[in-house]
Amino acid sequence: MKLYEHEGKVLFKACGISVPRGVAVKNASELDGLLLSFESTAVKAQVLTGGRGKAGGIKLCHGLGETKQAVTAQLGATIHGEVVETVLIEELVQHSGEYYIGIAYDTTLRVPVLMASREDGIDIESAGNVARVAVDLSIGYSPFLARETLFMAGFDRETALAASSIFGKLWQLFKRYDCTLVEINPLHSTNDGELLADDAKVILDDTALWRHKDVTFPPRKVFGREENERERAAKAIDREDTRGVAGSVYFDLDGDIAILGIGGGGLLSGMDVLLAHGLHPANYTEYSGNPPAEKVKALTKIVLSKPGLRGLWHFGGTANLTDVYETMVNGFYTGLLEVTPKPTYPIVIRRGGPRDKEAFAWLKEHAAKDGFNIHFFDRNTPITESGKKLAELVQ
């Protein structure tokens, strides 16, 4: 989950990192009486995409009139395809230096990495003048690592000592909220000698959000729109039960073929197969990691609750650990029985793994009795062939 700047600064302040005085608004009328304590302002469009400054998303203003004009112009504007719904107005603080510091999880090294530069700016992370020091997790973070990173970046001693304190607070935030990235760009050195976070970029690990009941930021938009009821319900399955995965990734799409995929890689390949045969998915979701039957049941009911479906493709590769009988019989089929109205469209199942033969035998017997139009394919049939069969049945 990417946080907007004003949301990231809420966490910054909670961890003792100083930020400029400011207020986030959704309407220019909210400014009346709020900005009397500081005349000069920075008006910042709140978007999750980068490069907003070059796109006109940051305006420096003097006086309430200019500030209101900038807020009015930004609200409703589009920056890199994202509509601005919130604007952050902050006190414009005079500064004597601008720096960059951050902590990111390096997926190659599989450890957090401290980063620092004496310069700030767009794309600073990829610049050659950014010092990087990996954190040895067997030892952990230490102020020494922070100072080493800052000295490597060319910070003078006084600034490095002050910035190392900020690094310590960033580290606490990084650990406490299971972040994959926290960075300040720019970190301002004010004329009074204080270090101030003038921006905040924070990314939380979605799979760890269940551990943070205090994180109550609104759900992120999906494809430029608010999450719908099905998307919220699907994500709640994994949030409330962390055994396996079923629903944390769910998006409604414009098609009419329901999808229950097993495993993300196979799911992506299957979507290509579906499109190649002229069909269009109604959703994107998957389950994996041997989730309990009740989670698969809940996801099945959500997927099949969408109106106007013409078919269901329930497919995946050959599992190593996921119990096919448990997930297909006690999970999927139990959910299928509770869908109203009863699905009459073609259902194609392609599955393999532990107890798949027992699962298929039970499903074939009961599907015939219950009047479902289900077609079964085991591990000996390629996923692509099962997708082709679904296309023939639907068309």
How is residue 339 written in tokens?
């869908």
Bridging pattern class, strands 95-106 and 58-62: unpaired
Confidence category of residue 312, pLDDT binned at 50, 70, 90: very high
**Domain 229-394, architecture per CATH:** 3-Layer(aba) Sandwich (3.40)
Higher-confidence position of 190 and 265: 190
Q: In terms of CATH, what superfamily is 21-91?
A: ATP-grasp fold, A domain (3.30.1490.20)
**pLDDT digit string (tens) for 102-142?**
999 999 999 999 999 998 765 565 556 799 999 999 999 99
**pLDDT digit string (tens) for 373-384?**
999 999 999 999
pTM: 0.71
Q: What is the mean pLDDT of residues 99-103?
A: 96
* 178 φ, ψ (degrees, to nearest 5): 50, 55
- The span from the CA of 26 to the CA of 86, in Å, is 5
In the prediction, which pLDDT does 209 show?
79
Per the CB < 8 A criterion, the answer to whether 59 and 74 are in contact is: yes
**CA distances (Å), 274 to each of 111, 255, 258, 377, in order?**
38, 11, 11, 16
**pLDDT digit string (tens) for 293-307?**
999 999 999 999 999
229-394 and 21-91 share a CATH fold: no
- With left for phi above 0 and alpha for psi between -120 and 50, is residue 371 left, alpha or beta? left
* Least confident piece of the model among 81-90, 255-264, 265-274: 265-274
In the prediction, which pLDDT does 158 show?
92
The runs of H, that is alpha helices, within 177-256 are 229-240
- What's 118-166 look like in SS3? CCCCCCHHHCCCCEEEECCCCCCCCHHHHHHHHHHCCCCHHHHHHHHHH
- The span from the CA of 264 to the CA of 287, in Å, is 8
How is residue 221 written in tokens?
């938009």
**pLDDT digit string (tens) for 38-59?**
789 999 999 998 889 889 999 9
In the prediction, which pLDDT does 224 show?
67
Q: What is the mean pLDDT of residues 309-321?
A: 93
For the chain, the domains span: 21-91, 95-211, 229-394
In the prediction, which pLDDT does 211 show?
86
In the prediction, which pLDDT does 167 show?
97
Q: What is the mean pLDDT of residues 171-195?
A: 93
Q: What topology does CATH give the domain 95-211?
A: D-amino Acid Aminotransferase; Chain A, domain 1 (3.30.470)
